[in-house]
Amino acid sequence: MAGLVRCAGVLICHGGLAWRMSKSKGERVLFGHSQFRLLHSGFTVVVALLLLAACATMKPEDSDTWRNAQRPVIKQRAEARWVGLIKGDIEKAYSYTSPDYRAVVTLQQFKGKYGRVVDWRVAHANDISYDSPTVASVSVEVTYRVDLPGVRGKEIETNRVLTEKWLFKNGEWWYTNQ
C-alpha cells in the first residue's frame, strides 16, 4: 500500500484521509479531512513536546550533536539580551546574566554600568564557538551611536564585533562578563 503510514493505530494516507480499526467491532472507519487535520495537529503537538523534553534533558557533552543543538539556543539568548540593552530594558538584559554574577552584582549596580552614553542600535550573534561543552564564545556584531566628545549635537554611528562568553549552568545558557 504505497503512500500509507501507520501511526498510533491509524492508517494515514497522503491524500489526507485515514482509516482506523474500530476496537469494539473490528471494522474500518474512514476519517475525513477535518478529522485528519485534528489528528495531525494533535500528533504534531505531541512530537513537539517530546522534542522539547528531549532538548531540556540534554546534558553537556563534547560532541557535534550537543554543539549543533545548542547554537540556536545560545544565539536566541544572546540576541534577546541585546534587545534588552537596545530598548533600554536593563532588567531584561540583567536577567540573562549568570546566577553567580547576580549573586555578586545587584540590578542597581548593573544599571549603573549600562548608562545611556552609548545608543545601541542593532546586534546580531554571528558566530558561536565552544571553549568547552559548557562555555561558548559568541561573536556579536553591534551597531551603535555615540556622541562625539567636545562637539555638541554631533554623533557617529559605527559597528563593532564583540566577543561574549556564555556559560551553561543548571540547564540554561547565561551571559558572563569573564
Q: How far apart are CA 17 and CA 58, in angstroms?
A: 37
Closest to 96 (Cα-Cα) out of 167, 178, 144? 167
Residue 2 is which amino acid? A
Domain ranges of the chain: 4-56, 64-176
Nearest to 70 by CA among 147, 160, 130: 130
Please say whether the beta carbons of 43 and 8 come within 8 A.
Answer: yes
Among the four given CATH numbers 3.40.50.300, 3.10.450.50, 3.30.540.10, 3.40.50.720, the one describing domain 64-176: 3.10.450.50
Please name the amino acid found at residue 16.
G
What tens digit of pLDDT does each residue of 117-165 get? 788 999 999 999 999 999 999 999 999 998 777 777 778 899 999 999 9
Distance CA 87, CA 59 (A): 33
173 exposed, middle or buried (CB, 10 Å; 0-12, 13-18, 19+)? buried
How far apart are the C-alpha atoms of 90 and 105, rounded to whole Å?
Answer: 13
Q: Per residue in 57-93, pLDDT tens? A: 468 888 999 999 999 999 999 999 999 999 999 999 9
| Type and span of the H or E element at 105 | none
pLDDT > 90: what percent of the chain?
52
Q: Please state the pTM of the whole predicted model.
A: 0.64
